[in-house]
Structure 1
Amino acid sequence: MTQINTEKDSLRSMRKTKKRRKFLRYSLVIFVLFILGAAGVVASEFHRLNPLNHFNHLKVIGTTSTAISGYKEKSGVFNVLLIGSDARKTDPAGHTDSILLVHADLNNHRYDVMSLPRDSRVYMPGIGYTKLTSVQYISQIQHGSKQGVVDAINSISNLTGVPINYYAETNYWGFQDMVNAIGGIEMDVPFNVTLTHPWYKKNKNKVITAGTQSLDGEMVTEIVHERDSVPGTDFGRQELQERALIGIAKKIMQPANITKLPALSRSASSFLVATNMTTDDFVSIGLGVKSDFHPQQQIKYHQLKGKSMVMYDDVLKRDNDEVVLDPVKLKEVVQKYFTN
């Protein structure tokens, strides 16, 4: 009897062992399938967000009546317009205060930046000739903020011949918040800057000396807004904007900040007044530049010179100081750095 019970116990034990083995085997299969499935999703997402796939067959914003001759879009290459507005919190309409046109080539890790003087003479359809800085303001007053951005983009495209794929507009507070969100920046200030028209009264006549400075959002924004005390006024301010851009790029692309790109892009509404860039766009850019980013070598800055002339302004209905860009030099810069 004891032997029979022992055999039954042994049989039960074998059955339990087989069940445990079968359960473990099925569990292992399910786990492997889950891993493979997850890997497939990751691979699919990586393929989709790969800059060569993501930045391909891009739309052009607005119209460009003077498009670059022979321009052909390449995958991984795009043009983005960065606009700084002087709009106050109490006034939704603002002038285009700073204009940076960026040609990003993620294949060759090269980023050409062209700064346009805010007082550049441009043609505004239906109105006539005026300063570039006035186009967005007039259009906002007449047609609303969204159309104001589109009309500014059209004016810049028609002036330069560069088709624009993306835009991002910020104002004083958005720019300040963005710099603060990444913990401030190191900025190579090329010359002494005296704040003659600061946003905050407490900063009146404060001097930022030439050299590498650790700056928070408030002070970076004060510096890039200054023009009366710097060499070349508007052209000096453009150089300050370029140095700030390099400082921001270096800080954002630090390893500790790369992982913050999706979160930063999701909170872009607190930094940007308007943009057509998505979270995927920001993440794809991060994937494209993070492995080999040396901003001081790869960001190439091109400043357009022009003649200050007194010309009739169709908006003001009187003569006004405007900057007339050299069309030959403009075409040379565009064809050399914004078509390849």
Structure 2
Amino acid sequence: MVKKNETEKSRSTFRKSRRRHRVLRYVLLTLAFLLVAGTAYGFFEYHKLKPANHFNNLQAVGSTKNNSKVKNYKEKAGVFNVLLIGSDARKGNTASHTDSMVLIHADLNNHTYNMLSIPRDTRVYMQGYGHTKLTSVQYISQVKHGTKKGIVDAVTAVSNLTGVPIHYYAETNYWGLQYMVDALGGIEMNLPFKVTLTHAWYSRNQGKTFAPGVQKLSGEMVTELCHERYSLPGTDYGRQQLQQAALIGIAKKVMQPSNVTRLPALSRSLSKFLIATNMSTEDMVSVGLGVKGDFHPEEQIKYRQVKGRGVKMYDDLLKANNSQIILDQTELQATIKKYFSN
């Protein structure tokens, strides 16, 4: 158990960091980060933080007042939506492009976690500018209005696209993912297909090939795999499958009894994993209480995909034609209704 003075320091740190900058393409792994924090702070009063009590009457992030689909969304206690953001943020940069976005519908009552990856080049509407790629929304807004506004605008764009309110966001980047995996001593990823690194972050890894099946990997290799797309079937859609494999691998490692002693130290190091999040310590604890003792990632994490078509279209933000992805609206609406609505 974390010592009292360490606990008070951690609480203070989290309160100050609620407005801070957080599977990069590795967004998915943030779910595991939340599990780490929740488990480590498990001494909080259970009844108060019981998911059905804590996750109730939640406020949506961003402006969705003009979206009739969001207005008609029925809230349910113990259920929330979180957007995991993977950015290409470099050290020292104040603005970054969105590389990956994963919408998670977490039902802590039924222990189900439906996930929908949204391709970075998806065509979305940005208030005040018009239609552009999803990857550009956060960057432009951060350049013009600051770090937090950029995240909120990206969340709003996804909320308007999907028609569901988003209550929380969490953003990570390349180094955050790498640090997390290494802190756990590496993970196992079950690769669904052969992967060749064609645009590695580190030149020493360029051209490395990984066979399908279970691979034991370091943080560096996990991030390289989650960054790859050009050698994969379906490019971005193939990358999404690798992100799912990474999330399951890290979630399984976190839940191993041998890692219990690492959790307090990991929870105090969340700032190394998360660039930004609006989740409080109490939110994270409640998530931990919700999954504790009944978390089976391979059965409970369900990964959904919505196909889209690549087209050349005019980008209102960039004032030029570029390649964009138009998601199939019929399939998107059906997926949202079945798996992301109460």
Q: Are the equivalent residues in 2 in contact too, given 1:265–1:279 (CA < 8 A)?
A: no
Partner Cα distance (1:87, 1:329) in 2: 32
Q: Are the equivalent residues in 1 in contact too, given 2:73–2:165 (CA < 8 A)?
A: no
Q: What is aligned with 2:45?
A: 45
Partner Cα distance (1:90, 1:150) in 2: 21
Q: Are the equivalent residues in 2 in contact too, given 1:261–1:282 (CA < 8 A)?
A: no
- Given candidates 204, 209, 212, the residue that maps to 1:210 is 212
Q: Are the equivalent residues in 2 in contact too, given 1:175–1:217 (CA < 8 A)?
A: yes
- 3-state SS of paired residue (1:92): coil
What are the Cα deviations for residues 231-256 of structure 1, in whole angstroms up to 9, with x where unaligned?
11111111111111111221222334
State the one-letter code of the partner of 2:61: I
RMSD: 1.7
State the one-letter code of the partner of 1:53: N
- Given candidates 272, 277, 280, the residue that maps to 2:279 is 277
Instruction: Please list every run of 5 or more consecutive structure 2 residues that lacks an aligned counterpart in the other structure.
Output: 1-41
Q: Are the equivalent residues in 1 in contact too, given 2:62–2:156 (CA < 8 A)?
A: yes
Q: What is aligned with 2:38?
A: none
Deviation larger for 166-175 or 252-261: 252-261
Partner Cα distance (2:280, 2:267) in 1: 7
- Given candidates 83, 86, 95, the residue that maps to 1:84 is 86
Q: What is aligned with 2:31?
A: none
- 3-state SS of paired residue (2:161): helix
Shift of residue 264 of structure 1?
Answer: 3.0
Deviation larger for 271-280 or 247-256: 247-256
What are the Cα deviations for residues 129-158 of structure 1, in whole angstroms up to 9, with x where unaligned?
110001001111111111110000000000
Partner Cα distance (1:94, 1:70) in 2: 33
Q: What is aligned with 2:336?
A: 334
Q: Are the equivalent residues in 1 in contact too, given 2:309–2:325 (CA < 8 A)?
A: yes
Partner Cα distance (1:62, 1:320) in 2: 27
Partner Cα distance (2:166, 2:289) in 1: 22
What are the Cα deviations for residues 66-103 of structure 1, in whole angstroms up to 9, with x where unaligned?
43464222111111110000112243321100111000
**Percent of matched pairs sharing the same residue:** 64
- Given candidates 106, 109, 129, the residue that maps to 1:107 is 109
- Given candidates 195, 198, 201, the residue that maps to 1:199 is 201
Q: What is aligned with 2:314?
A: 312
Deviation larger for 45-54 or 248-257: 248-257
Shift of residue 263 of structure 1?
Answer: 4.3
Q: Are the equivalent residues in 2 in contact too, given 1:192–1:207 (CA < 8 A)?
A: yes
State the one-letter code of the partner of 1:307: R
Deviation larger for 190-199 or 175-184: 175-184
Shift of residue 226 of structure 1?
Answer: 0.5
Deviation larger for 53-62 or 215-224: 53-62
Q: What is aligned with 2:139?
A: 137
TM-score w.r.t. length of structure 2: 0.83
| Cα separation, partners in 2 of 1:159 and 1:259, compared to 1, 3 Å | farther
- 3-state SS of paired residue (1:82): strand
State the one-letter code of the partner of 1:54: H
Q: Are the equivalent residues in 2 in contact too, given 1:67–1:163 (CA < 8 A)?
A: no
| Cα separation, partners in 2 of 1:54 and 1:274, compared to 1, 3 Å | same
Partner Cα distance (2:312, 2:275) in 1: 32
| Cα separation, partners in 2 of 1:66 and 1:240, compared to 1, 3 Å | farther
Q: What is aligned with 1:63?
A: 63
The structure having more radius of gyration, on CA atoms, is 1
Partner Cα distance (1:44, 1:89) in 2: 34
Q: Are the equivalent residues in 2 in contact too, given 1:121–1:322 (CA < 8 A)?
A: yes
- Given candidates 169, 172, 175, the residue that maps to 1:170 is 172
State the one-letter code of the partner of 1:84: G
State the one-letter code of the partner of 2:188: E
Q: Are the equivalent residues in 1 in contact too, given 2:113–2:301 (CA < 8 A)?
A: yes
TM-score w.r.t. length of structure 1: 0.84
What are the Cα deviations for residues 208-238 of structure 1, in whole angstroms up to 9, with x where unaligned?
2111011111111110110011111111111
Q: Are the equivalent residues in 1 in contact too, given 2:97–2:139 (CA < 8 A)?
A: yes
Instruction: Please list every run of 5 or more consecutive structure 1 residues that lacks an aligned counterpart in the other structure.
Output: 1-41
| Cα separation, partners in 2 of 1:129 and 1:116, compared to 1, 3 Å | same
Comparing both chains, which one has the higher relative contact order based on Cα–Cα distances under 8 Å and sequence gaps of 6 or more? Answer: 2
- 3-state SS of paired residue (1:164): coil
Partner Cα distance (1:239, 1:107) in 2: 26
Partner Cα distance (1:281, 1:334) in 2: 24
| Cα separation, partners in 2 of 1:260 and 1:47, compared to 1, 3 Å | farther
Q: Are the equivalent residues in 2 in contact too, given 1:136–1:151 (CA < 8 A)?
A: yes
Partner Cα distance (2:75, 2:153) in 1: 23
| Cα separation, partners in 2 of 1:336 and 1:258, compared to 1, 3 Å | farther
Note if 1:186 corresponds to 2:182. no
Q: Are the equivalent residues in 1 in contact too, given 2:244–2:303 (CA < 8 A)?
A: yes
- Given candidates 65, 74, 77, the residue that maps to 1:75 is 77
